[in-house]
Structure 1
Amino acid sequence: MAVNATAESRESIEPTGTRPPQLRAARVRRQSVIKFVILFVTLAFLFVPLISMLVFTLRHPLSGRWSLAPWVAIFTGNGESLGADLTVLWQGLGASLALCAVTVVLMLLLMVPTMVIVHIRSKALERAIEWVATLPLTIPAIVLVVGLGPIYRWLSSSLLNTNPIWLCFAYVVLVMPFAFRAIAVGLNSIDVKTLVEASRSLGASWPKVFFRVIIPNLWQSILSASFISIAVVLGEYTVASLLGRMNLQVALYQLGQSNSQISTAMSLLALLFGVVLLVALDLISERVAKSKEGK
């Protein structure tokens, strides 16, 4: 009995590489099947709704007739034949693109200098800023609007107006968690203190240190924060709708009341634009990594 137990224990701790080829091949096949099932389920979860949206834009829900008319209406800018006024769509798209640009600029002006200074001076304060920056993830958008509503009412009547561009202040708050994480990854990947001390010892002023030493090493993280912020702004609906401002998502909702096919087609284009941004970010990151390896 003792001999058999010893033999079994040796087999149990025997390396996988010494198993018979048949057992190794069977294990590889099982792993391949499991990987295929997981990949198939994941892709189906992601792409079945998108394919359904695409079919909906091409097939009329009542007559069953297939047509490219909704897509033609978007690219020609004329939806009168389908009973849709695309003016509101172009207004919402223009407002969202302007909001993307202004939000990204304000976010970078606020986050990058603050995070660099805090990263150099105080780790404790950096953790406090991280806690504040991630608060918008834990607060529902409807609660944010309840707090922002009186502020925007006062701004609109006393200082500014009801132009959608002023949503940029609220959107900076919404994109802070994502921007903070992207920039923090860049700061933690380089030795900021050593770079600053070396530059200062060579006589560089603080503006030169910031723009010629730190920013070139952080530009990939800055690009990531900008792309993620653009994707968030393009997909935001709750704040703009409840504050009575126009953006792309609000325009799509209003357009959907008259022609849901055109609205769905434009939603697909917005999703595609977000995917293109993320793919571009991945390609740029890969090219930067290869260029650094080549040096």
Structure 2
Amino acid sequence: MTWVGRSVRGLVLLAFAVFFLVPLWALLDLSTKQVVTGGRTGAHWKALVENEQMRSAIITSLELAVLTVVLMLVLLLPTMIWVRLRVPRANRLVEFLCLLPLTVPPLVIVVGINGVYSWVNYFLGGSPLTLTFVYVVLVLPFAYRALDASLSAIDVTTLAEAARSLGAGWFTVIARVVAPNMLSGVLSAAFIGVALVLGEYTFSSLMHFDTLPVTIVLLGKSDTGASMAAALATMLLTALLLVALSLLDRRRSERN
């Protein structure tokens, strides 16, 4: 690579670094700044764990993230593998159903689903964890693409036929033969699910559930510093998850 190419690459990387790091630095500055004295304080960051409302919202969002990822993988992963192996003609139908939520605005989905959720709340109570069902629908298009790319990268038919010839049942084929070879796609889908849940505001706000994004917005009206700290902490957590995903995928590739 010539010095011109290296210079262009360096400038592009610098531009991206400035684009991403400057807002983060501004959030850190606002979340640690004392308005009256102009000094620095960590009180706003301590409020993330001391403020009961914020602590409850963080726990709720983390629980929603775990439940959403688990339910999404339980529903989508076996279905995609089974369709690929047994009924490949239905692959287009499954793709269409998974990508359908992208074509409907979230506000329209909320209005349409309110009637259904009256029954959900009746049977399961008014817990914010019932948002899991909505979040699974929202994450389906992105998770499908991640899993489909991973599934297309391996010879599923050969793996399944080899396992079946050794006496493995279909559950063993899906859970212990094919799924472990899709680890990178599973991790990508899980990360997408976590990122979506931690940042989703429209559904939880319109359905009157106090998740982390809703609480950050409400807290910003009374304590701007604490809301900035919560927003920065959420972005840092998402970035750490991305780094962890990259490291796990790299280690897996090196072992193979």
**TM-score, with structure 2 as normaliser:** 0.93
Percentage of identical aligned residues: 39
Secondary structure at the aligned position of 1:239 is classed as helix
Distance 1:90 1:73 in 2: 9
CA RMSD between the two structures = 1.8
User: Which of the residues 59, 67, 80 maps onto 2:41?
Assistant: 67
2:62 aligned partner: 97
Q: Residue type of the partner of 1:152?
A: Y
Change (3 A) 1:38 1:223: closer
Establish whether residue 263 from structure 1 lines up as the match of residue 227 from structure 2: yes
Asked whether the equivalents of residues 57 and 210 of structure 2 are also in contact (C-alpha less than 8 Å), the reply is yes
Q: Residue type of the partner of 1:234?
A: L
Query: Which segment is superposed worse, 164-173 or 136-145?
Result: 136-145
Asked whether the equivalents of residues 48 and 55 of structure 2 are also in contact (C-alpha less than 8 Å), the reply is no
Deviation at 1:291, TM superposition (A): 0.3
Distance 1:212 1:68 in 2: 47
Secondary structure at the aligned position of 1:74 is classed as helix
1:249-287 deviation digits (Å, cap 9, x = unpaired):
111122222211011101111111100111000000000
Asked whether the equivalents of residues 135 and 177 of structure 1 are also in contact (C-alpha less than 8 Å), the reply is yes
1:39 aligned partner: 13
In structure 1, stretches of 5+ residues that fail to align are 1-26, 78-85
User: Which of the residues 164, 180, 203 maps onto 1:216?
Assistant: 180
User: Which of the residues 193, 207, 227 maps onto 2:171?
Assistant: 207
Distance 2:103 2:37 in 1: 45
Distance 2:67 2:55 in 1: 18
Asked whether the equivalents of residues 120 and 130 of structure 2 are also in contact (C-alpha less than 8 Å), the reply is no
Asked whether the equivalents of residues 103 and 168 of structure 1 are also in contact (C-alpha less than 8 Å), the reply is yes
Distance 1:245 1:69 in 2: 26
Q: Residue type of the partner of 1:31?
A: G
For 1:234-253, what aligned pairs fall within 5 Å after superposition? 234-253=198-217
Secondary structure at the aligned position of 1:134 is classed as helix
Deviation at 1:129, TM superposition (A): 1.3
Secondary structure at the aligned position of 1:66 is classed as coil
1:82-135 deviation digits (Å, cap 9, x = unpaired):
xxxx11111111111111121111111110111001111233321221122122
Distance 1:179 1:196 in 2: 23
1:47-73 deviation digits (Å, cap 9, x = unpaired):
111111111112234553332321233
Q: Residue type of the partner of 1:114?
A: T
**TM-score, with structure 1 as normaliser:** 0.81
Asked whether the equivalents of residues 58 and 68 of structure 1 are also in contact (C-alpha less than 8 Å), the reply is yes
Asked whether the equivalents of residues 88 and 255 of structure 1 are also in contact (C-alpha less than 8 Å), the reply is no
1:174 aligned partner: 138
Q: Residue type of the partner of 1:138?
A: T
Q: Residue type of the partner of 1:183?
A: L
Establish whether residue 108 from structure 1 lines up as the match of residue 107 from structure 2: no
Asked whether the equivalents of residues 205 and 214 of structure 2 are also in contact (C-alpha less than 8 Å), the reply is yes
Distance 1:221 1:182 in 2: 5
Distance 2:12 2:100 in 1: 34
Q: Residue type of the partner of 2:23?
A: P
Distance 1:71 1:203 in 2: 56
Secondary structure at the aligned position of 2:221 is classed as helix
Structure with max Cα Rg: 1
Matched positions, count: 256
Change (3 A) 1:61 1:124: farther
Q: Residue type of the partner of 2:46?
A: V
